[in-house]
């Protein structure tokens, strides 16, 4: 039996909106020094000369308590005067950047131009926004999601925002993943003998978690970690809460089931947390040797988020105690 | 006697705020196809990754009727949410960029990145803003004003905006002026046998007009043009209306007189228009063979601007008829 690290750090793998909900819940239950959020940066892109990191920003804004509660992304009380003027000038306006949000991209772009890494910039932005949880970009190198569709290959934001996920997905690849190295601190954190748990947030497995796992050496380091790995299923009653998860799974001929999610993550997982509406999948998953947690995973209110976080932390702690790292 | 081109084009040399007032007056009196404004671009700089062209923008916004009437630069009804957020992030906020104004710089930067020249971008911006007067950047190449001061050499915006013109000026130079070529259309316009007149707006001679004249071949092309050249003196009663003109003239040991302005432009001029409070300088200037116009040159109201424009056009027309090109 491995060492029982009740006070060790927790690493959460997250994309944007969906993952940020659980990250926020975790931040309510853990002291900031125990929580690390490993963020997808494969949606990052240069737009209008600015370096935009949508998932990092959603996580920062959410954890800073300044995100737009209606959309889950962007800032609350945002204004859109620059975009409106840009549209008037005939500029590209399909990707909406709010006036205050623009400051983040301008700051990031200027800092990067002066040689700061994405990790450095994120540390500085978090400090200024009062985010004490450590948000770790999956890589400081460009790893980019490319979506092969019935309309040809599209970069992620062209697929996701400009085309509103309308094209049919045939395949997804992560450009640069073989050469992109894991961001600073990530590998040492994964090697930390006190690491208490790794939680895969209920983000889109194909578009938000897979890019993280694609970064060279990162999935292996997770497998080799002493910490148990649990995924929170993004499905509720065989449906996706939000976003294109269900549509993409259908297009990739993957069944909309918790078992399919578990299959997808494969031997990375020690356990999976299902929504109560998917409890019927538990026996089959347990038969494979997986720990299966069952709870109400819908996160709407702050209370929901803290509850799912607490439940997940409980599962990780129990697995860690049981030596399932 | 040269050909009398009563309907030929007029070329106005202009910096920002002061020159834009006269350019606006000219635009009220001339059909748009007769007016060209040759703009200083030596104040241009890259800031926060964005390409900012302060004088071009002031001219565009003024001629579009959307400039801030209080400052003379920027947009009316502007908001400052991005700058405020950027300041919160610890970003550089000494150069204030309004939310709507930012769209202009984003558009310009993105267009330039795709290979458009500054002239191309200005044509497009003017078309979108409804400016029918042709605004011609003095050069598509980088020519940059550098100010030698008692605190060392400063780039123009560092001197002008960041340091608020506080350092004492020792010398001014225009980096890149030997290699920078005049912008498209300028030389052909200056060779146009129908060119009806060249007006040097009452902009700062040292910081706004000199950079234009420094562009390789441009001053000679003005001298060789058939059109008469008249400067509107920026002084009123031996004082500058606004800005650092008087301070700089003192620091460069230049007398604050209309004669000194005429000396400065030298053999480029066929005439000079003085404010009525400087009329005493007329006999001496006329004795040099210069045409001297005298009027109330203070431009506060739209009526003032049109009046000074009409007076200047009258002077140019009379000189052109008299063959003083």
Mean pLDDT of A5-15: 89
Residue A162 lies in a domain: no
Query: Which positions in chain A touch B120 (Cβ < 8 Å)?
Result: none
Residue B93 lies in a domain: yes
Strand partners, B47: B50
E strands within A179-304?
197-200, 229-232, 235-236, 239-240, 271-275, 291-295
E strands within chain A?
10-14, 35-39, 45-47, 50-52, 134-137, 144-149, 152-155, 169-175, 197-200, 229-232, 235-236, 239-240, 271-275, 291-295
Does position B1 have pLDDT exceeding 70, yes or no?
no
Residue B157 lies in a domain: no
- Long-range contacts, A96-101 (Cβ 8 Å, 24+): A97/A47, A97/A48, A97/A50, A97/A52, A98/A74, A99/B79, A99/B81, A99/B82, A99/B85, A99/B99, A99/B102, A100/A75, A100/B81, A100/B82, A100/B84, A100/B85, A101/A57, A101/A74, A101/A75, A101/B85
The DSSP element (H or E) to which A188 belongs, if any, is: helix A186-191
Chain segment B295-315, per-residue pLDDT in tens: 999 999 999 999 999 999 999
* Residue of B49, B91, B106 lying closest to A86 (CB–CB): B106
Look up the domain containing A265 and give its range.
10-139+177-322
Does position B324 have pLDDT exceeding 80, yes or no?
no
Mean pLDDT of A260-283: 97
Query: Which positions in chain B touch A90 (Cβ < 8 Å)?
Result: 107, 124, 128
Does position A66 have pLDDT exceeding 80, yes or no?
yes
Question: pLDDT value at position B3?
Answer: 42
Residue A2 lies in a domain: no
Residue B170 lies in a domain: no
Mean pLDDT of A235-239: 92
Question: pLDDT value at position B73?
Answer: 87
Q: How far is B32 from chain A (nearest CA, A)?
A: 21
Does position A268 have pLDDT exceeding 60, yes or no?
yes
Cβ proximity of A7 and A196 under 8 Å: yes
Does position B271 have pLDDT exceeding 60, yes or no?
yes
Question: pLDDT value at position A287?
Answer: 97
Question: pLDDT value at position B199?
Answer: 98
What is the rounded average pLDDT for all residues in chain A? 94
Question: pLDDT value at position B241?
Answer: 82
Does position A2 have pLDDT exceeding 60, yes or no?
no
Are B106 and A79 an interchain contact pair (Cβ–Cβ within 8 Å)?
no
Question: pLDDT value at position B72?
Answer: 84
Report how far residue A130's alpha carbon sits from residue B204's, in angstroms, rounded to the nearest whole number: 46
Does position A324 have pLDDT exceeding 70, yes or no?
no
Report how far residue B55's alpha carbon sits from residue A72's, in angstroms, rounded to the nearest whole number: 40
Report how far residue A42's alpha carbon sits from residue A185's, in angstroms, rounded to the nearest whole number: 18
Does position B121 have pLDDT exceeding 50, yes or no?
yes
Mean pLDDT of B50-75: 95
What whole-number percentage of chain A has pLDDT above 90?
90
Contacts of B304 (CB under 8 A, 6+ apart): B25, B296, B298
Give the confidence band of A43 by pLDDT, cuts at 50, 70, 90: very high
Question: pLDDT value at position A241?
Answer: 82
3-state secondary structure of A254: coil
What whole-number percentage of chain B has pLDDT above 70?
97
Provide residues of B within 8 Å CB-CB of chain A.
Answer: 48-50, 79, 81-86, 88-92, 99-104, 106-107, 109-110, 113, 124-125, 128-129
Question: pLDDT value at position B4?
Answer: 45
Structure tokens at A300: 């709407």
Cβ proximity of B291 and B262 under 8 Å: no
Give the confidence band of A3 by pLDDT, cuts at 50, 70, 90: very low
Give the confidence band of A6 by pLDDT, cuts at 50, 70, 90: low
For residue B13, give the nearest of B42, B51, B46 by alpha carbon: B42
Query: Which positions in chain B touch A115 (Cβ < 8 Å)?
Result: none
Contacts of A306 (CB under 8 A, 6+ apart): A25, A28, A29
Which of the residue ranges A48-52, B134-138, B245-249 would you say has the lowest mean pLDDT? B245-249
Question: Taking the mean position of all CA atoms in its chain, how far away is CA A57?
Answer: 11
* Greatest Cα-to-Cα distance within chain B, rounded to the nearest angstrom: 65
Q: How far is A89 from chain B (nearest CA, A)?
A: 5
Are A91 and B79 an interchain contact pair (Cβ–Cβ within 8 Å)?
no
Taken as a whole, chain B contains a residue count of 325
Chain segment A114-166, per-residue pLDDT in tens: 999 999 999 999 999 999 999 999 999 999 999 999 999 999 999 999 999 99
Does position B325 have pLDDT exceeding 50, yes or no?
no
What is the rounded average pLDDT for all residues in chain B? 94
Question: pLDDT value at position B64?
Answer: 97
3-state secondary structure of A270: coil
Count of structural domains, chain A = 1
Q: How far is B287 from chain A (nearest CA, A)?
A: 51
Residue A32 lies in a domain: yes
CATH assignment of the domain containing A296: 3.40.50.10680
Structure tokens at A116: 């700061």
What whole-number percentage of chain B has pLDDT above 90?
91
Give the confidence band of B240 by pLDDT, cuts at 50, 70, 90: confident
Chain segment B140-182, per-residue pLDDT in tens: 999 999 999 999 999 999 999 999 999 999 999 999 999 999 9
Give the confidence band of B101 by pLDDT, cuts at 50, 70, 90: very high
Query: Which positions in chain A touch B124 (Cβ < 8 Å)?
Result: 89-90
Does position B43 have pLDDT exceeding 80, yes or no?
yes
Residue B144 lies in a domain: no
Residue B176 lies in a domain: no
């Amino acid at each position: 039996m491995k060492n029982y690290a009740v006070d060790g750090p927790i690493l959460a793998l997250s994309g944007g909106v969906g993952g940020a909900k659980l990250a926020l819940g975790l931040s309510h239950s853990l002291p900031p020094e125990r929580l690390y959020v490993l963020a997808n940066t494969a949606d990052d892109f240069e737009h209008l000369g600015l370096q935009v990191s949508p998932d990092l920003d959603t996580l920062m804004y959410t954890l800073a308590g300044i995100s737009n509660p209606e959309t889950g992304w962007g800032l609350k009380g945002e204004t859109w005067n620059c975009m409106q003027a840009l549209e008037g000038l005939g500029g590209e306006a399909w990707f909406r950047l709010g006036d205050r949000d623009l400051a983040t991209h301008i700051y990031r772009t200027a800092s990067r131009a002066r040689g700061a890494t994405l990790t450095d910039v994120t540390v500085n932005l978090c400090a200024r926004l009062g985010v004490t949880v450590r948000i770790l970009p999956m890589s400081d190198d460009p790893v980019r999601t490319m979506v092969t569709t019935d309309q040809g290959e599209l970069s992620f934001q062209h697929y996701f925002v400009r085309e509103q996920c309308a094209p049919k997905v045939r395949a997804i690849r992560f450009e640069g993943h073989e050469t992109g190295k894991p961001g600073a601190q990530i590998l040492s954190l994964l090697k930390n003998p006190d690491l208490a748990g790794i939680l895969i947030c209920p983000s889109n497995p194909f578009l938000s978690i897979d890019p993280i796992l694609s970064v060279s050496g990162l999935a292996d380091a997770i497998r080799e970690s002493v910490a148990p790995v649990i995924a929170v299923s993004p499905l509720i009653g065989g449906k996706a809460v939000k976003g294109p998860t269900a549509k993409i799974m259908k297009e990739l001929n993957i069944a909309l089931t918790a078992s399919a999610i578990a299959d997808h993550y494969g031997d990375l997982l020690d356990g999976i947390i299902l929504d109560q509406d998917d409890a019927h999948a538990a026996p089959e998953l347990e038969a494979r040797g997986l720990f299966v947690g069952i709870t109400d995973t819908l996160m709407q209110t702050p209370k929901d988020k803290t509850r799912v976080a607490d439940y997940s932390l409980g599962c990780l702690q129990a697995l860690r105690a049981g030596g399932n790292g």
